[in-house]
Amino acid sequence: MLNVAVVGAGNWGRKVIRNFYELKEVDTLFCYDVNPSSRRWVKKNYPEVITVTRYEDILENKEIPAVVITTPAWTHFFLARKALNAGKHVFVEKPLTLKAEDAEFLVNLAKAKGKILMVGHILRYHPAVQVMKRIIDEGKLGRIYYTYSQRLNVGRVREVENVMWCLAPHDISIVLYLLGKEPTRVSACGGCFLQREKSIEDVIFLNLTFEGGIFSHIHVSWFDPTRIRKTVVVGEEEVIVLNELSSQEPLKLYTIKRKKGTDIALGEATLLSVPDYEPLKEECLHFIRCILTNTPPLTDGQEGLRVVKILEMAQKSLKKGSPVKITK
């Protein structure tokens, strides 16, 4: 067992607090949030959680080996750097940072300090994604042609980073994992409709090109009438579809049937069996186990850096209006 401190008790931070609170591997849970009302919420709902009024109260406490950062993305680098310098293991929500150079700095700092740096790419811990990976690696889909994903909703928006930095880390991390490759070219286009004066895009279409002709299309939006969380991988023989919003039928497999000429049809959908566990709970537990066993996380700082580099290239493409090649 060990003590853990969660920094940030906003909408997502409260879910993280609940999961760490429920883990038997956690002894005492601490929480810091700059907002007094958020600290009061934590105390009301989880009286046993120790709330503090300064970040330094966590950094200076030698009894707290692990810090979980669930604050806005623009604060990640500074908070993580302080925690690593204080000798803490650190779990940072996605994206790791908003600059590749900052992400690389944190990776190197964690290595120098001998501490674990983990990034909250939660879908890597989703049971359906694990099943998808196994099926792809077994070759059931045949040659992979392309993938696409949609992460759409209407409502809450960010005021610093655009929708791509907010939502696309999920989809980028998934496609890198499923394909086991990194892209050679990135392109992006989008629009600012809700915050024109700030030039913050609320809808973006991102395209990744991989060796072998595989490409991935990622559509993210804060300004869409339909809430969708969907990933599709199209192969030569079969197509696999992940619907994150369906608890009953999250994963389906379709067989491609060849007809006369070049016509094709899809066979009946096969509902795939998926283990029943909460991805966030698994992610939180993974962080604890990595500390206790001194093993690298599945979503370590290097993975966070890879995703941030792709996002940075996509941002360049978005601004210049043309694709960007990725050099090794």
When the pLDDT of each residue in the chain is averaged and rounded to a whole number, the result is: 94
pLDDT at 261 over 70: no
> Does residue 39 share a domain with residue 101?
yes
Average the pLDDT over 207-220 and give the result: 95
Verify that 138 and 252 share a domain, yes or no: yes
Is residue 258 within 8 A of residue 264, CB to CB? The reply is yes
pLDDT, tens only, 10-67: 999 999 999 999 999 999 999 999 999 999 999 999 999 999 999 999 999 999 999 9
Q: Are residues 139 and 255 in the same domain?
A: yes
Q: Which residues on adjacent β-strands are paired with residue 119?
A: 92
49, 149: one domain:
no
What pLDDT score does 327 carry? Answer: 72
Find the domain containing 83 and state its range. Answer: 2-123+280-298
**Predicted pLDDT of residue 321:** 85
Looking at the structure, tell me whether residues 245 and 214 fall in a common domain: yes
**Is a pLDDT exceeding 70 seen at residue 116?**
yes
Q: What is the pLDDT of residue 292?
A: 95
**Sequence-separated contacts (24+) of 200-203 with Cβ below 8 Å:** 200/157, 200/158, 200/159, 200/160, 200/161, 200/162, 201/162, 201/163, 201/164, 201/318, 202/157, 202/162, 202/163, 203/163
Residues 75-114: tens digit of each pLDDT: 999 999 999 999 999 999 999 999 999 999 999 999 999 9
Identify whether 303 is part of a domain: no
Split into its structural domains, the chain has a count of: 2
Residue 259 in any domain: the answer is yes
Q: What is the pTM of this model?
A: 0.94
pLDDT surpassing 80 at residue 262: no
CATH code of 289's domain: 3.40.50.720
> Do residue 33 and residue 159 come from a single domain?
no
Whether residue 41 is found in the same domain as residue 101: yes
Whether residue 328 is predicted with pLDDT greater than 70 in this model: the reply is: no
Alpha helices in 114-267 (DSSP H): 127-137, 163-179
| Residue range 171-189, pLDDT digits in tens | 999 999 999 999 999 999 9
